[in-house]
Amino acid sequence: MSQHQVKVVSKISEAEDIASFELVRVDGQPLPSFTAGSHIDVHVDAGVIRQYSLCNPPQETHRYVIGVLRDPASRGGSAAMHDRIEVGSVLEISAPKNHFPLTAAGRSLLLAGGIGVTPILCMAESLAQAGAAFEMHYCARAPERTAFRQRIADAAYAGQVHFHFDSGAAEQKLDLPALLATPDADTHVYVCGPGGFIDYVVNTAKSLGWPSSQVHLEYFGAAAVDAAGDQPFEVKIASSGQVINIPAGENVVQVLAQHGIDIPVSCEQGVCGTCLTRVIDGVPDHRDLYLTDDERAANDQFTPCCSRAKSALLVLDV
DSSP string of 132-175, one letter each residue: --EEEEEEES-GGG-TTHHHHHHSTTGGGEEEEETTS-GGGS--
Tell me, what DSSP letter sits at residue 291? Answer: S
Higher pLDDT, 71 or 81: 81
Interval 91-140: pLDDT, tens: 999 999 898 999 999 999 999 999 999 999 999 999 999 999 999 999 99
What residue spans define the domains of the chain?
A: 3-94, 107-219, 233-316
Reduced to 3 DSSP states, what percent helix, strand and coil does the chain have, rounded to the nearest 5? 20, 30, 45
To the question of pTM greater than 0.85 for the whole model, the response is no
Residue 179 CA, chain-centre distance (Å), reads 24
222 pLDDT more than 70: no
Give me the pLDDT at residue 109, please.
98
242 pLDDT more than 80: yes
Least reliable range by pLDDT among 31-35, 79-83, 140-144? 79-83
50 pLDDT more than 90: no
Q: 233-316: CATH homologous superfamily? A: Beta-grasp domain (3.10.20.30)
Q: 3-94: CATH homologous superfamily? A: Translation factors (2.40.30.10)
E-assigned strand segments in the chain: 3-15, 18-25, 39-45, 48-53, 64-69, 90-94, 107-113, 134-140, 161-165, 187-193, 215-219, 233-237, 243-246, 277-281, 284-285, 301-302, 308-309, 313-316
Pick the CATH number of 107-219 from 1.10.3720.10, 3.40.50.720, 3.40.50.80, 3.20.20.105: 3.40.50.80
| Nearest alpha-carbon partner for 215 in 226, 204, 224 | 204
| Nearest alpha-carbon partner for 318 in 234, 233, 235, 238 | 238
Interval 189-221: pLDDT, tens: 999 998 889 989 999 999 999 999 999 998 876
159 pLDDT more than 70: yes
Give me the pLDDT at residue 73, please.
64
Higher pLDDT, 142 or 76: 142
Q: Are 105 and 45 in contact (CB under 8 A)?
A: no
Percent of the chain with pLDDT over 70: 96
Interval 2-17: pLDDT, tens: 789 999 999 999 999 9
Interval 283-313: pLDDT, tens: 999 988 788 788 899 999 999 999 999 999 9
